[in-house]
Copies of this chain bind each other. A is one copy, B any other.
Amino acid sequence: MMVLITYDVNTSSDGGQRRLRHVAKTCENYGQRVQNSVFECLVDPQQFKELQLKLEKIIDPSVDSLRYYQLGAKWKRKVEHVGAKQGYDVDGLLLI
């Protein structure tokens, strides 16, 4: 399943910079960074659960947030990119 993860980490709060780095680092192990705070992760349900648990231990839910979007099987047809930093397909091919 393709899951889009977006996050906001309040970097002006205590430990915010550390949490931001930690969230990004954790997402990197599961998918492809497509923008600063946006990752596309091709995961199975077990990996998705595992990733959610990890991320939710890192953030401070009173000031940070995470959003998960399940994009479905035909996700490639539903995504458009404009401008810099074109994302790469997690399968290893350029996403056109």
Contacts and interface: CB of A to CB of B under 8 A. Distances in A.
Copies in the complex: 2
A82 B70 contact: no
A56 to B, nearest CB: 6
Nearest to A75: B69
Interface residues of A, number: 38
Interface in A54-96: 55-56, 59-72, 75, 78-87
A83 B58 CA distance: 11
A56 B82 contact: yes
B66 A72 contact: no
A30 interface: no
A72 B65 contact: no
A84 B64 contact: yes
